Amino acid sequence: MRVLGIDPGIAIMGFGFIDKSGHKLTPVQYGCIETAAGTPQEMRLKQIYEAVCDLLDQYKPDTVAVEKLFFNKNVTNAFSVGQARGVFMLAAAQRGLPISEYTPMQVKQAVVGYGGAEKRQVQEMVKMLLKLSAIPKPDDVADALAVAICHAHSIVLNERMNGAMRR
């Protein structure tokens, strides 16, 4: 099963494709989509949409996962991130892909085992779980891979729970 994890953003949108086979997780491709500050918002969203469509068509994930928005003090930034997130979700929905959403705490819990984990702990676990030589940069890329790992672990749990409920 191929999973795509997304860390949404308007300036930088991190992405990470991983393959899950049994308990083994293998990185396929990861990186980020960047848009330039000063570019009109609609053009940035168009750039993100086109890049996401290209990635989805090239790597053909079976399922996608995106981090839920966390509203802090910068509401303007949260709206921009929400728009970029919506563009991603539209591209995935157009391809009939199932979309799952996770809070930052759920991602930390799944990857590190502790919902209050520090960013550096999550990054180190991403590196270790995917057997990478270095922590992916920028941080948005490691975050996207963490979302993909979270979803890969959640799929197993959901399958087990659904199987138990059928018995």
List, by residue number, the catalytic residues: 7, 67, 140
54 annotated to a ligand binding site: no
42, 43, 45, 50: CA torsion to nearest 10: 140
| Among 61, 62, 45, residue whose Cα is nearest residue 8 | 45
* Structure token digits, residue 14: 């991190």
Place of tokens 């087990």: 160
Q: Which two tokens stand for residue 40?
A: 């009109």
CB 6 within 8 A of CB 65: yes
Distance CA 11, CA 36 (A): 7
Instruction: Judge contact between 30 and 61, C-beta under 8 A.
Output: no
Q: Which two structure tokens, joined as six digits, stand for 63?
A: 């399922």
Does the annotation place 101 within a ligand binding site?
no
In the annotated binding site for Mg(2+), the residues are 7, 67, 140
In the annotated binding site, the residues are 7, 67, 140
